[in-house]
Amino acid sequence: MTKAMDDREFEQKHLDKILKMIRAKKAELSSSIKSAEGEAQDLNSHFFDDVKLDYDGYSTSMETALSIHQQQQLLDERQNAWQHAAKQLSTVQKLEQKPYFARVDFKETNEKPETIYIGLSSFADKNNHFLIYDWRAPISSIYYDGKIGKVSYMSPEGEITVDMTKKRQFMIENGKIINMFDTNESIGDQMLLEVLGEKSGTQMKSIVTTIQREQNKIIRNTSADLLFVQGAAGSGKTSAILQRIAYLLYRYRGNLTSSDVIMFSPNQLFNDYIKNVLPEMGEQNMVQMTYWQFVARRLPGMTVENLFDQFEDSKADSAISQFKDSTNFFNLLHHYAKHLNNRGVIFKNIYFRNKKKPFFTKEKISELYYSFNSNYNLSNRIDATREGLIKSLNRKINSETKKAWVSDAIQNLSQEQLNALYDRPDQEFESEEKEEKFLSRKIVVKALDKVFQQIRRNNFINMRAQYLNFLRAVPKMTDLSKWRIEEADWQKHIEEVKQSFMKHYIHMNDVSAYLYLYDLMTGRHVDYEMRYAFIDEIQDYTPFQLCYLKYNFPRAKFTMLGDLNQAIFTKDESRSLLKQISGLFDPEKTDVVQLTKSYRSTKQLTEFTKQILRQGEKIESFNRQGPKPALWQRSDDTATIKVLEQILDENTQANMTTAIITKDLASAKIVAEKLKEDKVKATLIATANQRLVDGTLVIPSYLAKGLEFDAVIMWAASKENYHRIDETQLVYTITSRAMYKLDIIYTNEKSPLLEVDPETYIEK
Ligand SMILES: Nc1ncnc2c1ncn2[C@@H]1O[C@H](COP(=O)(O)OP(=O)(O)OP(=O)(O)O)[C@@H](O)[C@H]1O
């Protein structure tokens, strides 16, 4: 028998032994869950038998309350035991499918040699001896980090160096080892090749078995306040974030829960794409949001410019936008708000019934607001004003009850409405006059609730006018010519903002500033609880937005990941992003990591796509083989559709999912329509709220962010369609979505942005 066979046999035996123990544990847990369930049911059905009921008068007596409480506690304990066992069972069930994926042998100085196995979670025998180590345990780090020989890892007691003598990887299916490799590399290419060779699906997968060394650094970083990751398309940024969240939840278990972690992602489609990764690793998903959701939920009365409009709005790269997106603009707002402490807050009248005569005039509100001491800050001022207004509101109740509308209202009440006003059905009054007084007061208080709510919600501040006032003040606070902005253009811009406000519409480059001004004026409480904030696809955020997120989550540690080469909304502005935001964090606590290797695509595809970039030379390809990209030039639309259908046919035969990526939504609709006419099955993804499905998709570029497909067809890649230099990032984003096969179709001349070494593609 060869040594390899020997080893394999040995490992299979070990696996069988572990599996046996796992199954025994599973049976044990299942039965204890059953009995816990039974007991809880029993308790529940006898709940009131055991509780001493003693209803005396209106309130439950102390003894009854205590008895209910005790019974409840008993139930809760059972419930907890049950929950704990159920969680354990689900872990064990996962382990049963794949107990572990690696083994490392190592020796610590002056200690005996050790062998450990690493899996998705830990598993111990009755004596608490670990048979499987969680991949996030300190010692597991050596599997990801080191080559054979001396290697260090961080333990809770500090750095420990060991001598690693073996590193073995397993592929296990249905209790059988189907493949195993001994490797000297951090993670052997062989294993990675196997994993990457698997077909894509509508759901992202965890990379826990093959985390790369550089990725591991991101995952296990606990020191940085700002961890900034710049990584090529497909270098595993998104994968690393999700693994990092799982790691942090493990590392700080008991202190950190998934609700203390928030992740901002490019769109809803993407959220859907990644939603299974954490649950597969046995963790709960974090709070997930898009920036649009984050701001729009606070402005229910306004329409906030959406992704679609933002993409189609070509003015986005003007000098004015650049200025409004900058940290300078953020700081200007702060200054402006400070000056409001002395004067300048714009108020609104508050009305009640009479639409002509205000209930509280704006002059009176202003007088109240500025009557407070000048060392008040803005938020105290607003609180005091609110209180003052509520006091005067209460004072007005009496005089209001004497008005004619109140007695009219009482006359017109139905018996049912009347009954609802009394405190008790049998309420008695000394006289009719007293009863009328009581009812009048009730009616007035109810009607004034609207006014009360307006005060409570700070609706006496004229926010829109205030924001416009700020924009008007900008030229006095800063020299706009430094931003290449003419005064007249600025005035025109203000007028445009005003017009859109009148239509209750707000642009993306106003919304954060608008909310920030509101927050500064009202002292809205920011979220001190959030401990970790993750921002994926950072290149599509403006410096202003990042400042605003930092302001909203002052205690959170930030992880920002992105590829400045894929900036499809902010375009070239993104280059200065890191510089602009680095000022927000302590430089000592800022770590910047670069990921240069692309794992998504085959060597042929990466070699092609990286040339599209002006600075793409840093991107390394991973040695996985596939066909070269194909360029299809055809003379007219009929011919391009024919080619499209031919490629789809080939891809489907080869069992590949294909995304046809168009520049915008309009052309995606046209393509989908044409395919439908020809009875070719394809799903149009028109909004981010749709679901990803198997089969062929037609999708506009800005919704394809962060996703990947076996095969991509770039539609209408002509010069006419893509010619601006700032569309480079867009073309790169589209083409880098492909894992295995890329076809590019166009009529007439091809886009100059696709001018690359002809050796790297084939023309068909
Ligand atoms: N260490 C790894 N082991 C196995 N697969 C990996 C690894 N790293 C990345 N991948 C795979 O590479 C692909 C790209 O990863 P991911 O989407 O995380 O990259 P990204 O950097 O976020 O890409 P983009 O910026 O283009 O959206 C995924 O299929 C992922 O599973």
**Token couple for 531:** 């401990």
Q: Specify the residue with its C-alpha closest to ligand 1, atom 3.
A: 210
Find where tokens 């940024």 sit.
Answer: 237
Mean pLDDT of 726-745: 89
Residue 523: which of 329, 367, 337 has the closest Cα? 337
Instruction: Give me the pLDDT at residue 317, please.
Output: 54
Q: Is the CB of 214 under 6 A from ligand 1?
A: no
Find where tokens 């009048």 sit.
Answer: 440
Instruction: Give me the pLDDT at residue 706, please.
Output: 81
CA dist 222 and 238 (Å) reads 18
Please, what is the end-to-end C-alpha distance for the chain in angstroms?
A: 52
Residue 220: which of 205, 241, 204 has the closest Cα? 241
| The CATH fold of domain 615-763 | Rossmann fold (3.40.50)
Residue 655 has pLDDT above 90, yes or no: no
Give the pairing type, strands 597-598 and 114-119.
unpaired
Confidence band for 244, pLDDT divided at 50, 70 and 90: very high
Partners of 594 in the β-ladder: 230
Q: Judge residue 343's burial from the number of C-beta atoms within 10 Å of its C-beta, 0-12 exposed, 13-18 middle, 19 or more buried.
A: exposed
**Token couple for 666:** 């309009």
H/E/C letters for each residue in 380-436? HHHHHHHHHHHHHHHHHHHHHHCCHHHHHHHHCCCHHHHHHHCCCCCCCCCCHHHHH
Is the distance from CB of 308 to CB of 116 less than 8 angstroms? no
Mean pLDDT of 471-480: 92
Element (H, E) at 241: helix 237-251
Q: Is the CB of 564 under 6 A from ligand 1?
A: no
Residue 131 has pLDDT above 70, yes or no: yes
Mean pLDDT of 20-29: 88
Q: Is the CB of 86 under 6 A from ligand 1?
A: no
- Which ligand 1 atom minimizes the distance to the CA of 209? 3
User: Which of the two residues, 3 and 164, has the higher pLDDT score?
Assistant: 164
In tens, the pLDDT along 451-466 reads 888 888 888 889 999 9
Residue 632: which of 762, 758, 764 has the closest Cα? 764
- Which ligand 1 atom minimizes the distance to the CA of 195? 4
Find where tokens 């203000």 sit.
Answer: 494
Instruction: Give me the pLDDT at residue 65, please.
Output: 52
- Which of 189, 238, 242 should be mutated for ligand 1, with most atoms under 8 A from CB? 238
Instruction: Give me the pLDDT at residue 56, please.
Output: 41
Mean pLDDT of 410-432: 79
Mean pLDDT of 274-301: 87
Is the distance from CB of 388 to CB of 376 less than 8 angstroms? no
Confidence band for 247, pLDDT divided at 50, 70 and 90: very high
Q: Is the CB of 606 under 6 A from ligand 1?
A: no
CA dist 381 and 368 (Å) reads 9
Residue 55 has pLDDT above 80, yes or no: no
φ, ψ at 182 (rounded to 5°): -95, 135
Interior/surface letters 300-312, b for 16+ CB within 10 angstroms, e for the rest: eebebbebbebbe
- Which of 212, 213, 235 should be mutated for ligand 1, with most atoms under 8 A from CB? 235
CA dist 634 and 528 (Å) reads 58
User: Domains of the chain: which residue ranges?
Assistant: 1-197, 213-304+526-598, 350-457, 615-763
User: Which of the two residues, 100 and 184, has the higher pLDDT score?
Assistant: 100
CA dist 227 and 246 (Å) reads 16
Mean pLDDT of 212-216: 87
Instruction: Give me the pLDDT at residue 74, please.
Output: 64
**Token couple for 330:** 């953020």
Residue by residue, DSSP assigns 332-359 as HHHHHHHHTTTS---B--B-BSBSSS-S
Which residues of 456-599 form beta strands (DSSP E)?
Answer: 505-506, 532-535, 557-562, 590-595, 597-598
In tens, the pLDDT along 363-389 reads 898 888 888 777 777 878 888 888 888
**Token couple for 430:** 């000394």
* CA of residue 196 to ligand 1 center, whole Å: 9
Nearest-Å Rg of the Cα atoms of the chain is 32
Share of residues in the chain with pLDDT > 70 (%) = 89
Q: Is the CB of 708 under 6 A from ligand 1?
A: yes
Instruction: Give me the pLDDT at residue 547, please.
Output: 92
CA dist 234 and 232 (Å) reads 6
In angstroms, the Cα distances linking 474 to 229, 378, 469, 497 are 34, 20, 9, 14
Is the distance from CB of 591 to CB of 224 less than 8 angstroms? yes
In tens, the pLDDT along 71-107 reads 666 666 666 667 777 778 888 888 888 899 999 999 9
Residue 593 has pLDDT above 90, yes or no: no
Residue 62 has pLDDT above 70, yes or no: no
φ, ψ at 233 (rounded to 5°): -60, 130
Instruction: Give me the pLDDT at residue 67, please.
Output: 59
119 CB-near residues (< 8 Å, 6+ apart): 95, 98, 99, 100, 101, 132, 133, 134, 135
335 CB-near residues (< 8 Å, 6+ apart): 477
Residues belonging to the binding site are 231-238
Instruction: Give me the pLDDT at residue 499, please.
Output: 94
Q: Specify the residue with its C-alpha closest to ligand 1, atom 26.
A: 233
pTM: 0.82
**Average pLDDT value over all residues in the chain:** 83
Residue type, 641: I
Residue by residue, DSSP assigns 675-689 as HHHTT---EE--STT
Which range is least confidently modeled, 17-31, 300-314, 622-636? 300-314
Q: What is the DSSP code (8-state) at residue 305?
A: P
Instruction: Give me the pLDDT at residue 60, please.
Output: 44
* CA of residue 204 to ligand 1 center, whole Å: 9
Residue 476 has pLDDT above 60, yes or no: yes
In angstroms, the Cα distances linking 94 to 14, 87, 89, 680 are 18, 11, 9, 39
Is the distance from CB of 717 to CB of 729 less than 8 angstroms? no
How many other β-carbons are positioned within 10 Å of the β-carbon of residue 34?
Answer: 12
Instruction: Give me the pLDDT at residue 573, please.
Output: 53
* CA of residue 200 to ligand 1 center, whole Å: 11
Instruction: Give me the pLDDT at residue 447, please.
Output: 81
**Token couple for 106:** 């190592």
Q: Is the CB of 729 under 6 A from ligand 1?
A: no
Length of the chain in residues, anyone? 764
Is the distance from CB of 480 to CB of 307 less than 8 angstroms? no
In tens, the pLDDT along 484-533 reads 998 999 999 999 999 999 999 999 889 999 999 999 988 877 888 899 99
CA torsion through residues 476, 479, 480, 486, sign:
positive
CA dist 701 and 730 (Å) reads 7
**Token couple for 342:** 């002395």
CA dist 232 and 607 (Å) reads 13
Instruction: Give me the pLDDT at residue 755, please.
Output: 87
Secondary structure (3-state) at 297? coil
Residue 18 has pLDDT above 80, yes or no: yes
Is the distance from CB of 262 to CB of 553 less than 8 angstroms? yes
Mean pLDDT of 228-251: 89
Is the distance from CB of 216 to CB of 143 less than 8 angstroms? no
Q: What is the DSSP code (8-state) at residue 611?
A: G
- Which ligand 1 atom minimizes the distance to the CA of 562? 25
Q: Is the CB of 233 under 6 A from ligand 1?
A: yes
Instruction: Give me the pLDDT at residue 146, please.
Output: 73
Share of residues in the chain with pLDDT > 90 (%) = 22
User: Which of the two residues, 68 and 143, has the higher pLDDT score?
Assistant: 143
User: Which of the two residues, 58 and 742, has the higher pLDDT score?
Assistant: 742
- Which ligand 1 atom minimizes the distance to the CA of 595? 21
Residue type, 447: A
CA dist 196 and 598 (Å) reads 11
Q: Judge residue 703's burial from the number of C-beta atoms within 10 Å of its C-beta, 0-12 exposed, 13-18 middle, 19 or more buried.
A: buried
Instruction: Give me the pLDDT at residue 474, please.
Output: 93
CA dist 146 and 213 (Å) reads 8
User: Which of the two residues, 135 and 569, has the higher pLDDT score?
Assistant: 135
Residue 571 has pLDDT above 60, yes or no: no
Residue 313 has pLDDT above 70, yes or no: no
Is the distance from CB of 571 to CB of 317 less than 8 angstroms? yes
What architecture is the 213-304+526-598 domain classified under in CATH? 3-Layer(aba) Sandwich (3.40)
In angstroms, the Cα distances linking 438 to 356, 415, 416 are 29, 16, 17
Interior/surface letters 168-194, b for 16+ CB within 10 angstroms, e for the rest: bbbbbeebeeeebbebebbbbbebbeb
Residue 292 has pLDDT above 70, yes or no: yes
Mean pLDDT of 469-486: 92
Residues belonging to the binding site for ATP are 231-238
Residue 236 has pLDDT above 80, yes or no: yes
CA torsion through residues 746, 748, 751, 757, sign:
positive
Q: Specify the residue with its C-alpha closest to ligand 1, atom 1.
A: 211
Q: Is the CB of 733 under 6 A from ligand 1?
A: no
CA dist 389 and 348 (Å) reads 13
Residue 621 has pLDDT above 50, yes or no: yes
Mean pLDDT of 243-271: 88
Q: Is the CB of 464 under 6 A from ligand 1?
A: no
* CA of residue 589 to ligand 1 center, whole Å: 26
- Which of 207, 539, 612, 736 should be mutated for ligand 1, with most atoms under 8 A from CB? 207
Most confident of 233-237, 372-376, 418-422: 233-237
Give the pairing type, strands 176-182 and 158-173.
antiparallel
- CATH topology match: 213-304+526-598 vs 615-763: yes
Most confident of 15-19, 179-183, 271-275: 15-19
* CA of residue 122 to ligand 1 center, whole Å: 26
Residue 57 has pLDDT above 50, yes or no: no
